[in-house]
Amino acid sequence: MSDDLFTLLHGKTLDALRALVPDLAPELAARVELTPARVPAQGDLATNAALIAARPAQRKPAELAAALARALANEPEIDAAEPAGPGFVNLRLRPAALQAELPRILRSGPRYGDSRIGAGTRINVEYVSANPTGPMHIGHCRGAVVGDALAGLLDKAGYHVTREFYVNDAGAQVIALAWATYWRYLQALGTPLTEAAFSADVPGGFQYPGDYLVPIGAALAERHGEALAGPGKTVAPSELWLDTVRDFAVGTLLERIREDLASLGVRQEVFTSERALLESGAVERAIETLRSRGLIYEGVLEPPKGKLPEDWEPRPQLLFRATAFGDDTDRPLRKSDGSNTYFANDIAYHADKIARGAQAMIDVWGADHGGYVPRMKAAVEALAPAGETLQVLLCQIVHVMRGGEPVRMSKRAGTFITLRDLIDEVGAGAVRFTMLMRKPDAQMEFDIDLARAQTRENPVFYVQYAHARCRSVLRRAEASPEALADADFSVLTDPAELALLRRMAAWPRTVEGAAQAREPHRIAFFLYDLAGDFHMLWNRGNEAGAELRFIQPDRPRETQARVGLVAAVATVLRSGLAVLGVEPMEEMR
């Protein structure tokens, strides 16, 4: 835990409660909360402690609350403690207690709000994990941003985070990619071959007609000349070229994906190749592990309820007993042609993550994979030698809006918006922040015009503007945060200043809550609120009389304290933006 104001007072509340109710059960103590007051009339903080403990202590909540209030009122940080409502205790802090948070912020710098709730738990966050069959488009973007911000959040909360990308470079879709690239290669050699004519030769049907493979085909032609083609630059047997073309196309596209991700500020340190995993025999090993636990059998599944696939027929299959772990049905591991299902590969992949040391895993997926979650969690539960866990975050669909109209996208028609286009148009920071202003399990509209707007409507701008204003003051004041930490902050007594202090004091608590809930969007909302508090105080400095201007040459004591306050705001804003992976702006003119 951090040693911030909230944590300190939460501890004191629990101590006071235990003094009144000595045999308080730990699970009840864990439910005791200290939360910011909803309305100013209730003071600064409120606790539900008496409500939680009243029943086991066989006391009336209001009476216990009164006793608790009397005890807490003696604490030096607390100005007043009063029982309220059905059994709450409202606490009013001494301004000094809030002011004391400022030196802590200024001395901690970007580490302010760091928490140890993660306790160094090795947690693997896997996100994006697109097929390397084309450029990143906007559909991949939300998962990339949410995963990356979640990783940043968990890192700040004291977890040992691994950021991972699973490269789906095995299976039918990369074969299809190889064929499409081969077509572009033949074209680069000068073979006049229409898509229709070529498609007839492609097993499983032609895919990936997009132009982005043209340069890759050309590069192959340059590197290999006619060596991969048949006589007269025609289609050669695939044994001759498939591996070469596939590896080259996948490698090239993956490199491009990494570049796109980097321009979004996403940097995963681990890229795991599905194909390498398969070639290592990992799938067989994982299945053997499950078999040794009696969780693998040969069986016939019930037909799915509702609409039946036309070619459905009962067939014995190699099955994983997912129902033993809460799934609706057992799940197949082998296809009818004898190859492994994607699920089988994924079991091996998660076993691999565990083998590499992951104690907890988070997968960020698109909502269309929702039906896959129970079986994957079942598999991890079945594998986990030491209780390793899997959580899956599903990101709902993003609808892109421009000029008030939905932007239609079709991969086939090549009208999808690439991630690169989006970043070029609105900027990486705005893309990230905007994506994080929604909880991931709700569908969202991404309004391109709004993300670019320079008004309060646009939260990114609003937060950046607050930071730029802070920096402007600090440039003028020419003071270092370290020196400001020694200022006399007792002059900060205006309600607007205290509100800002209260907000910043809630930062460590916000980090912990967001990390535990796996909800990075809470950080974005916190920053938006903090920026609002700051803009308000700023404008008070423009009022007649200007009592609250930060810099007042004839009042050095006030100036020192207020510039310290501004430095703290800048620090917390930077700290929050860093969690979200957004670069703070020094100036906006």
Partner RNA sequence: GCGCCCUUAGCUCAGUUGGAUAGAGCAACAGCCUUCUAAGCUGUGGGUCGGUGGUUCGAAUCCACCAGGGCGCGCCA
Which residues ranging from 457 to 476 are in contact with RNA (CB under 7 A)? 457, 461-462, 465, 468-469, 471-473, 476
d(Cα 451, Cα 459) in Å, to the nearest integer? 8
For RNA, which is the closer residue by CB, 142 or 509? 509
For RNA, which is the closer residue by CB, 198 or 446? 446
Measure the CA dihedral 197/201/202/208, to 10°.
Answer: -20
Task: Pick out residues in 488-507 that bind RNA (CB under 7 A).
Answer: 506
By CB under 7 A, tell whether 410 contacts RNA: no
Asked whether the beta carbons of 457 and 450 are under 8 A apart, the reply is yes
For RNA, which is the closer residue by CB, 229 or 393? 393
Q: How many CB atoms lie within 10 A of CB 589?
A: 4
d(Cα 403, Cα 531) in Å, to the nearest integer? 27
Task: Pick out residues in 569-588 that bind RNA (CB under 7 A).
Answer: 587-588
**Nearest CA-CA partner of 125 in 438, 392, 516, 395:** 392
At closest approach, how far in Å is the CB of 291 from RNA?
A: 19
Cα dist from 218 to 18, 100, 181, 212, 234, whole Å: 75, 65, 9, 11, 16
**Nearest CA-CA partner of 163 in 176, 174, 153:** 153
At closest approach, how far in Å is the CB of 301 from RNA?
A: 5
| Among the residue ranges 194-202, 218-226, 236-244, 535-543, the one whose residues contact RNA (CB under 7 A) | 535-543
For RNA, which is the closer residue by CB, 155 or 519? 519
At closest approach, how far in Å is the CB of 459 from RNA?
A: 8
At closest approach, how far in Å is the CB of 383 from RNA?
A: 18
At closest approach, how far in Å is the CB of 174 from RNA?
A: 8
**Angle in degrees, 0-180, between the axes of helices 61-72 and 5-20, rounded to the nearest 10:** 120
At closest approach, how far in Å is the CB of 248 from RNA?
A: 19
Cα dist from 138 to 190, 267, 505, whole Å: 34, 17, 36
Q: Are strands 398-402 and 444-447 parallel, antiparallel or unpaired?
A: parallel
At closest approach, how far in Å is the CB of 24 from RNA?
A: 15
| Among the residue ranges 110-118, 227-235, 378-386, 528-536, the one whose residues contact RNA (CB under 7 A) | 528-536
At closest approach, how far in Å is the CB of 435 from RNA?
A: 11
Asked whether the beta carbons of 134 and 419 are under 8 A apart, the reply is no
For RNA, which is the closer residue by CB, 307 or 408? 307
Q: How many CB atoms lie within 10 A of CB 346?
A: 23
Task: Pick out residues in 210-269 that bind RNA (CB under 7 A).
Answer: none
d(Cα 83, Cα 51) in Å, to the nearest integer? 11
At closest approach, how far in Å is the CB of 441 from RNA?
A: 4
Task: Pick out residues in 112-141 that bind RNA (CB under 7 A).
Answer: 131
Site mask for RNA (CB under 7 A), range 541-560, x = bound: xxxx-x-xxxx---------
Site mask for RNA (CB under 7 A), range 23-62, x = bound: ----------x-xxxxx-xx---x-x--xx--x-----x-
By CB under 7 A, tell whether 412 contacts RNA: no
Task: Pick out residues in 309-338 that bind RNA (CB under 7 A).
Answer: 309, 311-315, 328, 331-332, 334-337
Angle at 265 between CA 150 and CA 571, to 5 degrees: 70
SS3 273: strand
Work out whether the CA dihedral 273, 279, 282, 288 comes out positive or negative. positive
Among 19, 227, 262, 300, binds RNA (CB under 7 A): 300
For RNA, which is the closer residue by CB, 1 or 394? 394
Among 96, 413, 483, 536, binds RNA (CB under 7 A): 536
Among 14, 103, 114, 171, binds RNA (CB under 7 A): 171
Task: Pick out residues in 417-456 that bind RNA (CB under 7 A).
Answer: 437-439, 441-445, 454-456
d(Cα 82, Cα 70) in Å, to the nearest integer? 8
d(Cα 287, Cα 293) in Å, to the nearest integer? 10
| Among the residue ranges 233-241, 275-283, 356-364, 512-520, the one whose residues contact RNA (CB under 7 A) | 512-520
For RNA, which is the closer residue by CB, 233 or 502? 502
Work out whether the CA dihedral 339, 341, 347, 350 comes out positive or negative. positive
Site mask for RNA (CB under 7 A), range 366-405, x = bound: -xxxxxx---------------------x-xx--------
At closest approach, how far in Å is the CB of 193 from RNA?
A: 26
At closest approach, how far in Å is the CB of 221 from RNA?
A: 28
Strand order in the sheet with 296-300: 296-300, 316-320, 331-332
Asked whether the beta carbons of 433 and 463 are under 8 A apart, the reply is yes
Task: Pick out residues in 260-299 that bind RNA (CB under 7 A).
Answer: none
> Which alpha helices (H) appear in 329-372, and where do they start and end?
342-355
Give the chain's length: 589
Strand order in the sheet with 34-36: 34-36, 45-47, 88-93, 78-84
For RNA, which is the closer residue by CB, 188 or 566? 566
At closest approach, how far in Å is the CB of 199 from RNA?
A: 18
Q: How many residues bind RNA (CB under 7 A)?
A: 107
Among 134, 519, 571, 580, binds RNA (CB under 7 A): 519
For RNA, which is the closer residue by CB, 159 or 185? 159
**Nearest CA-CA partner of 320 in 331, 309, 329:** 331
For RNA, which is the closer residue by CB, 422 or 570? 570
How large is the C-alpha radius of gyration of the chain? 29
Cβ within 8 Å of residue 186, ≥6 positions away: 193, 198, 217, 229, 233, 234, 235
By CB under 7 A, tell whether 304 contacts RNA: yes
